[in-house]
Amino acid sequence: MTSLLITNALVVNEGTLRELDVYIDDGRIAKLGADLSSQPADRVIDATGKHLLPGMIDDQVHFREPGLTHKGEIATESAAAVAGGITSYFEMPNANPLTINREALEDKYQRAAQKSLANFAFYLGASNDNLENIKSLDPKAACGIKVFMGASTGNMLVDKPEILEGIFQYAPTIVVTHCEDTPMIKANEDQYREQYGEDIPMSCHPLIRSQEACYKSSSFAVELAKRFDTRLHVLHLTTEKEMALFRAGPLAEKRITAEACVHHLFFSEEDYEAKGSLIKCNPAVKKASDRQAILDAINSDLIDVVATDHAPHTWDEKQGTYFKAPAGLPLVQHAVVSMLEHYHRGQFSLETIVQKTSHNVAQLFQIENRGYIREGYWADLTLVDLNAPTVVDDQKLYSKCGWSPFGGYIFKSSIVATLVNGEVAFEAGKVNQSVRGARIAFER
Ligand SMILES: NC(=O)N[C@@H](CC(=O)O)C(=O)O
């Protein structure tokens, strides 16, 4: 493997910003220092004026393989991820077949080892009758256990209290939840159907998938976790009200943590008029005041992680009426630049962005040797230019679905290069398709 020297980078890491050289050998960060020009490197990247971040570790993506590969595949979606500065991802179980047993989980690891450009790990999904599979899971064999406590794409709803109690009581590793109360949503759907028929305006999505439906389900998840002392991570929070369920304080002391997603930080209900079904996702994009509360909760550490919930559907699928258009957005390629947009707006510091997209994910899921720019750690790195804009152009998308909810937008920053285990996976606007990520190891 080649050695690489990155010189004069503005390194954002562990709450500091320092100009440093980074020497990479055999896939790992071998040395960090003010001047490493004497190191014998095969290649030198001059990073003067550019910021070097630990690569984003996205703890929530849907890459659609196996079974839904007309929407996306591990190869295409991981290419989009590295083009966007994401170096590792955790993938969700609502594929076909569902990832609810050891065989399906191992099948995904094997596929990813062949095809994934970024590092990978997979969730075991909970079903209404796989408690034995959950109990017997080796905690190092999956990033966590995913429970759809609200119905979404893939019919994986588990909401009977007695089944959830078993899962929360016996899960051998972290439980992550999608929280929306399905009976409340169904009642809202009936009400809006009565008013509009099948063609309900997309702007009703946050009223159907309401704040109350989110709160009811997420407060139940938190209650269960407290009762059984479960390690719980609640995914994609969208409402101001839910923020009261979480607390700030050192991550190491938390048993209950929270995630928000880039699209909920970017869009609000005002965008339904222009974007329609292109921003239909579960949980729904809600009010501008909810978005502001989530942005604030990230800064005050009520929310620990920012992820994407990358969920591609084809353009044609997305054209249907309210009930036909599936929920979910392709996001990995612009997640980091969308976070940097909040930096430009004065909302987040660069240090906070790095903490929420990388350090905290590594700490919270107990990832081995990733998530920080430290000597001895894997060289998963993203070089960004805060002053070179990214135009979101459908022609330049790597996701198989070929569209983006950010279509037409110009972000102020761009991804210059992405390194995965010391290999250049993306540079000068091009993905290096020959790079392969590794299976993520957990210290559990
Ligand atoms: N987020 C979404 O709206 N959709 C996801 C499923 C999910 O995470 O709910 C999908 O897989 O399409």
Atom of ligand 1 nearest to the CA of 152: 9
**Angle formed by the axes of helices 211-228 and 161-170, nearest 10°:** 50
CA–centroid distance, residue 287 to ligand 1 (Å): 20
Q: Which of 3, 10, 15 is nearest to 383 (CA)?
A: 10
Pocket test for ligand 1, best of 60, 90, 94, 267 (most atoms within 8 A of CB): 94
* Measured CA angle at 322 (ends 155, 187), to 5 deg: 65
Please tell me whether residue 67 adopts helix, strand or coil conformation. Answer: coil
Each domain of the chain, given as residue ranges in start order, spans: 4-52+374-431, 55-364
Residue with tokens 């609810």: 100
Instruction: Please indicate whether residue 28, judged by its CB atom, sits closer than 6 Å to ligand 1.
Output: no
Residue 153 alpha carbon to ligand 1 centre in Å = 5
- Report H helices in 171-303: 182-196, 205-208, 211-228, 262-266, 272-275, 288-299
pLDDT at 249: 85
Mutate to test the pocket of ligand 1, among 92, 146, 153 (most ligand atoms within 8 A of CB): 153
Is residue 94 within 6 Å of ligand 1 at its C-beta? yes
Taking the CA of residue 148 as reference, the ligand 1 atom at the shortest distance is: 9
Mean pLDDT split into 10-residue runs, the chain, 444 residues: 94 98 98 97 98 99 98 99 99 98 98 99 98 98 98 96 98 98 98 96 98 98 98 98 96 98 98 98 98 98 98 96 97 99 98 98 98 98 98 97 97 98 98 98 97
User: What's the first-to-final CA gap in the chain, in angstroms?
Assistant: 29
pLDDT of residue 314: 98
Q: What is the pLDDT, as a whole number, of residue 320?
A: 86
Residue-level pLDDT at 172: 98
Q: How many residues does the chain have?
A: 444
**Number of other CB atoms surrounding residue 232 within 10 Å:** 25
* CATH class, range 4-52+374-431: mainly beta
Helix residue ranges, H only, 171-249? 182-196, 205-208, 211-228
- Ligand 1 lined by 291 (C-beta under 6 Å): no
Q: How far is the CA of 81 from the centre of ligand 1 (A)?
A: 17
At the topology level of CATH, where does 55-364 sit?
Answer: TIM Barrel (3.20.20)
Helix, strand, coil: what percent of the chain each, to 5?
35, 25, 45
Q: Please name the residue whose Cα sits nearest to atom 6 of ligand 1.
A: 153
pLDDT at 380: 99
Locate 121 and state its tokens. Answer: 């790990």
User: What pLDDT is recorded for position 431?
Assistant: 98
Alpha-carbon gap, residue 413 to 154, rounded angstroms: 35
Atom 2 of ligand 1, nearest CA residue = 328
Q: Which of 152, 234, 400 to mutate to test the pocket of ligand 1 (most atoms within 8 A of CB)?
A: 152
* Residues whose CB falls within 8 Å of the CB of residue 430, separated by 6 or more in sequence, listed in order: none
- Write down the ipTM of this complex: 0.98
pLDDT of residue 3: 97
245: nearest Cα among 215, 270, 272: 215
Q: Which atom of ligand 1 is nearest to the CA of 313?
A: 12
